[in-house]
């Protein structure tokens, strides 16, 4: 496969993954509600800053990338 084909294939997989994530995001009820996530609700104002959820998703994403690069090297 040529380099341009590989790049398009990876982008296609990324778009499919993003689409599946957005489709099933409502069913993942614990994201944004973990201890350490900041949620503030007032009368006409709502603020959410998911610190813990961001850290956990970053660790998972990093682990997946590490696994891909580890098995790609062999």
1-20 per-position pLDDT tens digit: 577 788 788 888 888 888 88
Q: Are residues 21 and 37 in the same domain?
A: no
Range of the domain at 21: 1-28
* Close Cβ partners of 21 (under 8 Å, ≥ 6 residues apart): none
First to last CA, the chain: 19
If one counts the domains in the chain, the total is 2
Q: Based on the domain organization, do 18 and 38 belong to the same domain?
A: no
The answer on 71 and 36 residing in a single domain is: yes
38 forms beta bridges with 49
Tens digit of pLDDT for each residue in 20-53? Answer: 877 876 666 666 678 888 888 899 998 888 888 8
Residues 24 and 35 both lie in one domain: no
Strands of the chain, DSSP E? 38-41, 46-49
Is the same domain home to 2 and 23?
A: yes
Q: Would the pTM count as exceeding 0.85?
A: no
Contact between 25 and 31 (Cβ < 8 Å): yes
Q: Specify whether the CB–CB gap between 48 and 32 falls below 8 A.
A: yes
């Amino acid at each position: 496969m040529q380099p341009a084909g590989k790049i398009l294939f990876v982008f296609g997989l990324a778009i499919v993954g993003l689409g599946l994530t957005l489709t099933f995001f409502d069913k993942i009820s614990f994201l944004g509600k973990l201890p350490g996530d900041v949620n503030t609700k007032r009368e006409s104002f709502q603020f959410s800053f998911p610190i813990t959820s961001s850290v956990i998703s970053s660790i998972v994403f990093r682990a997946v990338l590490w696994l891909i690069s580890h098995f790609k090297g062999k």
